[in-house]
Each structure stands twice: as C-alpha cells, then as structure tokens.
Structure 1
C-alpha cells in the first residue's frame, strides 16, 4: 500500500528521474508534470497528498500555480522548490501558505525529509508524546504519593494539564485513559489534602498557607502597580488553568508572559464567595462582619455580587493605598463589552483598571441547559476550544489589542474553576437547604460522610453562619449532590455538566498571570 500520492511539477523533470525512483522505492506514488496548467487540471480531477512545485517554469510560474492550487483545494500541502533565495520570493511563498520550501539542487533525502515532516508529522508527534508521557508517568505517580505540600500540588496540577493538552496530539485512547486515571487519582489525593489542611489555611494565625482568593490582590496585583505605567487587572469568571493555556497563544501575539502562576480559590468555589473575597481582601465571614447589609447568603434575596467595587475601595483603604487612581468595570453582556472597546484608551491614564468579565461562567451554566452547547462543549477538549474561540473574537480581546502598542502591565486571573461531574451523591435536607450541586449549606443535612468535606461549624472554613445549626458540605472530585426527590432524573440531567463549588484540582487551583505589552 502506497504511503502517499505525490504530484511533482517541474519543467526539467527528465533530470529528476533518479529522485522519482528513490521516492517510489520508499513507497510513494509519484506522478510528474512539466507545467502549472497541466498541474491544475490534474488536481481538479485527482486526489493528491502533496505537491512538489518548481518555482521557475515557463507559461505560469510556481507562485502563480500555488495561488491557483489553493483556490482549488486550500488543504493540499505544497512544497516550493526554487533556485531563488530572495527574501521577497520567500515572503510571497510563505504568505501563500506553502508547507515547506527547498533550494535547488535538492538531494533525495531532503525531499524525503520534507515529505515525512508534512505527511507523518502528526503520527510522529503522537508517538513521541505517548512515549514521553510513559516516561513521566512514574515521576507523577511518585509525586502524588510523597505527601506534597500546597506548592507541590500546584506543580502536579500544572503537569497534569500539560500532559492533557499534549495528549490532544496523540491518537492513543489507551494512553489518554491512563492519563485520565492518573488525574482521578490526583483528585482523590487532593481531596484528602484539602480536607486535612483547609481549616488551618483560613485561620488568621496560620503562617503556612497558599495565596488564596482573599489575599490575591495584596500579594499578586498590588506589588506590580506603579505610577506612570497603568496596570489592568482582568478577572475572567470561572477560567480553569487548562482554559488559560488554550487562550495563551492568542495573548502571545501582543503580550509577553512574565509569570505564569496559580493560586487557591477559597471554598465554596462559587462566584459570590470567591469574587467578593478577591475584591474585599477578606474571607466571607469577615465580609459579613464588616458589611452586614451588603453581604448576602445563598438563601437570601438579591444579587450576590453587587458590591464588589465598594468592597475593593475598602480594601485599598485598609492597605493604606487610597493614592491609587483606579476604575472598576464589569462586563456582563455584549453591549458592556462594546463600551469597553470604545473606552479602553481613556483608561490608560489610571494607575489601575479592574475589569471583571463574565463569559466562561455563562457558558458553563448555559451548557447545562442547552442541548446545542452540550454538543459543542461535550468534554474538556471541546470546552477549551470553545473558550479559545470566544476569547479570540471577544470584545475583551479587541479592547486589549487596541492598546497593545502602549506600555502597561496586565494581570489576568479568575475567581474559581469548574469540574465535569460524573458521580451523583444523595443528600437530604430541609426546605432551607441550598440548591447548588457542588456544595450545600443548611440545617439537618443528611449525607454519606465519605462523599463530602463537611464543616459543621462554618466559621472553621472562614464562612458566615447563615442560620443556627447550619453546616456546609462540599462535593469531592467529580461528585455532585442530588436530592432523593426525582433523583434519577436530576442525576442523568446534570451528569457530564461543568459545575463549581466543591473540592477538585480544576476548581481550586486557578491561574494568575502577569504579562506586559510587547511594546
């Protein structure tokens, strides 16, 4: 069986017969033509895997032929073969989407290497990725079983995300299954780790704790604010670390990443707790104490994130940084995004511009409700892809591009991540019990203790006590909490949806990225 069909177009084909025979001996089918016109007719009528195209031919040049080939079939790889090394020619050729170019005289191994690079690249990369992960598997296994601290857990999660993205290049379902199992094992161990340590992290007297939502601004944003160079602090709601990696190449066109870091979201990993904590610089229990009117518990009426700017102003005052000239912008719909694009230049005169952008969270919730989005974002890979597609065409990206030629700092972060849930757990509660799938609080909660992290006294977790005898429970790994009423319906309805509020690597270890404009 032939490896591939090659069309070689050159007006001096007689002198290249030995090259043709060499490729045929390697298993390729090689058809030859002497001019561009015949080549175009041939491509219209026949399947071709790669075109080897001489640049200097009478009648119609190689570049002209190349342009017309792409009109017929954009996907055909074309290797341009030329005597001419001028920069303009190369620019034109590359601009016309050649897959490779070779300088005459070419030797057979050069041509073979180019063909392998084009035709076998995906297979070779997949094989290399699989082999590399096999080598790394043991290292990850040992790291998981060596009692990692909170910094080592961030490193483990970054490595798992790296291999998850690398495995997209592999067509080995077996290796992907091995990686998925390792990720599940990691989440099992991470749940034990958080269960053991979380209460001490949120204890004000604790000296050993990761950077978390409530001290993110103080440690990761404030040190970078300087007079004369504006800082943009952009919070994209519900952005996982793997989704950051998916949009990172789009940022790279205009921005240089100086620091790619992560921090820990507080529990529950839900917007009203995490984002308020970021802007207040306080744990929820302390926000409620200092702002009893503005703080709303889950079961109370009214918007839960209406006072972020007020909380932020108070945080600056507490940090003795009222000298910072700042703006606060929240983008909840497309019109607000358009307004941001039109106003972005006016923000350059401030020391700090806070932008809260709500899209990924909307995508997560809409995906649960809409069948079409269940198809579009059916798993982690497509969830990343749809996030990247959104960001590339978003008003946020357009706004940042508009000022990319100016000097400024950009810090990108999020409030929490999300996890694809697969394992339903039964929970019984009274009428006041909250409806969230990854966490619940209420009185008289009845649950299987091994399924959740429970705080009978919410204050131990840095949380307000909504009512007397109220406790909090957080789902572990890929679990979700359903009531016995109509249990099977809800278990099936929410299975494989992306949820947040509980304890998982994906929800709790989230990105904070320091960038500067390339200008």
Structure 2
C-alpha cells in the first residue's frame, strides 16, 4: 500500500528517474509531468498529497503554477525545487505558501526528508508525544502516590494540563483515554487531600497554607503596584488553567510573561464566595462580620457581587495602600467592553486598575442552557478553542493592545475554574436548600457521604452560618448534585456540562500570571 501520492513536475524529469525509483522503493506513489499546465489539470482531476515542482520550466514557471494549484486546492502542500536561492524568489515563494523548498541538485534523502516532514508530521508528533507521555506516566503516578503537599499538587496539575494540551495536538484517542484515567485518579487523591487539609488552611492562625483567594491580592497583586507604572489587575471570571494556556499566545504577542503561577480558590469555588474573598482579602465568614449589610447568603434576595469595589478599596486601606490612585471596572456585556476600549488610555494615570471580565462564566452557563453551545463546546478541547477565539477578538484584547507600547504591569488571574460533570448524586434538603449543582447548603441535608466533602459547621470552612443546623457540602471530582424529584430529567440535563463550586483540580488550582510590557 502506497504511503502517499506525489506529483513531481520538472521539464527534465527523465534525469530524475533514479530519484523516482528511490521514492517508490520507500512506498510512495510517484506520478511525473513535464510542465505546469499539465500539473494544474492533473490536480483538478486526481487526489495528490504533495507536489514537488521545478521553478524554472518553459511556458509557465513553478511559482505561477503554484498559484494556480492553490486556486484549485488551497491545502495541497507544494515543495519548490530551484537552481538559485535569490532573496526575491524566496520571498515570493514563501508569500505564495510553499511548504518547503529544495536547491538543485537534490539528493534523494533530501527529498525524502522533506516529504516526511510534510506528510508524516502529524503522525511523528503523535508518536513522539505518546512515547514521551508513556515515560512521564510513571513519574506522575509516583508523584500522586507520594503524599504531595499543596505546592506539589499545583505542579502535578500543571503537568496533567501540559499533557492534555500535547495529546490534543497529537490526536491519539487511546493515550488520551489513559491520560483521562490518570486525571480521574489525580482528582480522587486531590479530593482526599483537600478533605484532610482544607479546614487547617482557613484557620486564622494556620501554621502553613497556600496562597488562596483571600490572600491573593496581598501577596500576588499589591507587591507589583508602584507609583509611576500603572498596574492592571485583570480578573477573567471562571478561567481554568488549560484555558489560560489557550489564550497565553495572544497575550504573548504583546506582553512578556514574567511569572506564571497558580493559587487555590476557596470553597465553594463559586463567584460570590471566591471573588468577594479576592477583593476583600477576607474569608466569607469575616466579610459577613465586617460588612453585614453588603454580604448576601445564597438564599437571600439581591445581587451577590455588587460590593466588590467597596471591598477592594477597604482592603487597600487596611494594607496601608489607601493613597494609591485606583479604578475598578466591571465588564458584564459587550457594550461595557467597548467602553473599556474607549477609556483604556485614561486608566494609565492610575496606579492600579482592576478590570473584572465576565465572559467565560457566561459561556459555561449558556453552554448548559443552549443546545448550539453544547455542540460547539462538547469537551475540554473545544471549550478551550472557544475561549481562545473569544479572547482574541474580545474588547479586552483590543483594549490591552492599545496600551501595549506603554510601560505597564499586568497581573491576570481568575476566581475559580470549572469541571465537566459526569456522575449525578442525590441530595435531599428542605425548601431553603440552595440550588447549586456542585455545592449546597441548608438544614438537615441528606446525602451519600462518599460523594461530598461536608462541613456540619460552616465556620470550620471559613463560611457564614446562615441558620442553626446549616451545613455545607461540596461535590467531589466530577459529581453533580440533584434532588430526588424529577431526578432523571436533571441528571440528563446537567450531565456533561461545565460546573463549579466543588472540589477538583480544575476548579481549585487556578492561574495567576504576571506580565510586563515588551
């Protein structure tokens, strides 16, 4: 069976018979022609994997033929074979989208290497990735089973994201499945780890804890605020680490990535808790004590994130930075995004500018409710792709491009991630019980202990106690919580949607990235 179909076009094709035989010996099917006109007609009628083409032929040149071939089929790779390497010719050739060029006289192995590079590239990448992951599999397995601490967990998750991104390029379903199983195992171990350590982290006098939502601003944002160099703190709601990696190249076009780290979102990994914690610098139980009028529990009426700017300015004062000139911009729709683009230059006179951008969260909620988005973002790979496409064309990217030539610092972070849920679990509660899919709180909750991390006393998790006998439960791994009434309907409705609020690597270990002007 032939490896691939090659069309070789050269007016001196007779002198290349030995080359043709060499390629046929390697399994390629080689068809030869002596002029560009015949080549154009041939590709109209026949499937071709690669065209090898002489540049100087009588009648119509190789470059002219190349242009016509691309009009017939844009995706056919063309290798130009030329006697000279003049700069103009190379510029024209590259501008006309050649896949490679070779200088005469060509050596058979040179041609073979060029074909392998073009035809086998995907297969070779896939094989190399698969083999590299196989070697890493054991190291990851050992890391998972060596009682990792919170820093090592962040490292394990980064590695899993790295391999997930590599596998999505390699297109190897079997190895992707192995990686998915390893991710599931990691989430299982991570759930046990969080169950053992979380309450200790949130104690006011915890001996050691990671940087979490409520300490992010103090330790990862404020140290980069200085008079004279505007700092932009950009919080993109609900951005997983793999989604950050998808938009990173767009940022890297205009900014230098100085530091890429991660931190832990507090529980529940939900906007009203984690984002208020970031801007206030306090755990929710302390926000409620300090701002009793502004804090709203889940079952209370009214917006849950209406006072972030007030919390943020109070935190600046508390940390002795009340003299910094600060702005707070929230972008909840496209019009507000356009206003940001128009106003971005005015923000340069401030010491610190907070921009909260709410696209990814809207996407995950809309994906649950709209069939067309379920189709467009039916797995992690397509979810990343939509996020990248959104960011590239977003007002946020436009606004940042407008100030990319100015001396600025950027810290980009998020409030929590999300996980694609697969396993429904039953929860029974009274009518006050919250409706969230990944966490619930209420009185007298009835649930299967193996499915959740439960806090009978919310204060142990740094959370307000809305009622006597209130408890909080957080779903583990890819579990989602449904009520018994109409259970099958909701189990099917929410299966395979991206949700947040619970305990998983994807929701809790999230990016914080520092960038500077180039």
Offset at residue 118 of structure 1 (A): 0.6
Offset at residue 73 of structure 1 (A): 1.1
Q: Does the residue aligned with 2:235 lie in a helix, a strand or coil?
A: strand
Offset at residue 25 of structure 1 (A): 1.6
CA distance in 1, matches of 2:46, 2:204: 73
CA distance in 2, matches of 1:355, 1:100: 45
Offset at residue 63 of structure 1 (A): 2.4
Task: Give 1:209-228 correspondences, 5 Å limit.
Answer: 209-228=209-228
More displaced 10-residue stretch of structure 1: 179-188 or 224-233: 224-233
Offset at residue 31 of structure 1 (A): 1.8
CA distance in 1, matches of 2:97, 2:217: 45
Point out 4+ residue stretches in structure 1 off by more than 4 angstroms. none
Equivalence for 1:172: 172
Offset at residue 85 of structure 1 (A): 2.2
Q: Unpaired runs of 5+ in structure 2?
A: none
Equivalence for 1:82: 82
Offset at residue 14 of structure 1 (A): 2.7
1:259-279 Cα shifts (integer Å, max 9, x gaps):
111100000000000111111
More displaced 10-residue stretch of structure 1: 263-272 or 422-431: 422-431
1:163-202 Cα shifts (integer Å, max 9, x gaps):
1111113343322221111111110110010011001111
Offset at residue 338 of structure 1 (A): 1.2
> Is 1:447–2:485 an aligned residue pair?
no
> Is 1:198–2:176 an aligned residue pair?
no
CA distance in 2, matches of 1:201, 1:102: 62
CA distance in 1, matches of 2:295, 2:258: 36
Q: Does the residue aligned with 1:229 lie in a helix, a strand or coil?
A: coil
More displaced 10-residue stretch of structure 1: 78-87 or 274-283: 78-87
CA distance in 2, matches of 1:204, 1:62: 74
CA distance in 2, matches of 1:92, 1:322: 59
1:246–1:445: structure 2 CA closer, same or farther, 3 Å change rule? same
CA distance in 2, matches of 1:400, 1:87: 36
Equivalence for 2:292: 292
1:127-171 Cα shifts (integer Å, max 9, x gaps):
111111111111111100100000000000001111111111334
> Is 1:487–2:500 an aligned residue pair?
no
Equivalence for 2:70: 70
Q: Does the residue aligned with 1:48 lie in a helix, a strand or coil?
A: coil
Offset at residue 30 of structure 1 (A): 1.5
Equivalence for 2:354: 354
1:14-59 Cα shifts (integer Å, max 9, x gaps):
3222212211221112222233222222212221111112223333
Equivalence for 2:421: 421
Offset at residue 402 of structure 1 (A): 2.1
CA distance in 2, matches of 1:220, 1:451: 34
TM-score scaled by length of structure 2: 0.97
Offset at residue 121 of structure 1 (A): 0.9
Q: Does the residue aligned with 2:510 lie in a helix, a strand or coil?
A: strand
Q: Does the residue aligned with 1:125 lie in a helix, a strand or coil?
A: helix
> Is 1:7–2:7 an aligned residue pair?
yes
Equivalence for 1:374: 374
CA distance in 2, matches of 1:514, 1:36: 53
Equivalence for 2:108: 108
1:406–1:61: structure 2 CA closer, same or farther, 3 Å change rule? farther
Q: Does the residue aligned with 1:56 lie in a helix, a strand or coil?
A: coil
Equivalence for 1:58: 58
Equivalence for 1:234: 234
Offset at residue 329 of structure 1 (A): 1.0
Offset at residue 13 of structure 1 (A): 2.2
CA distance in 2, matches of 1:114, 1:234: 45
Task: Give 1:257-336 correspondences, 5 Å limit.
Answer: 257-336=257-336
Offset at residue 300 of structure 1 (A): 0.7
TM-score scaled by length of structure 1: 0.97
1:325-368 Cα shifts (integer Å, max 9, x gaps):
22111111111111112222222222222111111111111111
Offset at residue 517 of structure 1 (A): 2.6
Q: Does the residue aligned with 2:485 lie in a helix, a strand or coil?
A: coil
Equivalence for 1:465: 465
Offset at residue 372 of structure 1 (A): 0.9
Q: Does the residue aligned with 1:30 lie in a helix, a strand or coil?
A: strand
CA distance in 2, matches of 1:319, 1:271: 23
More displaced 10-residue stretch of structure 1: 466-475 or 226-235: 226-235
CA distance in 2, matches of 1:67, 1:493: 50
CA distance in 2, matches of 1:228, 1:105: 61
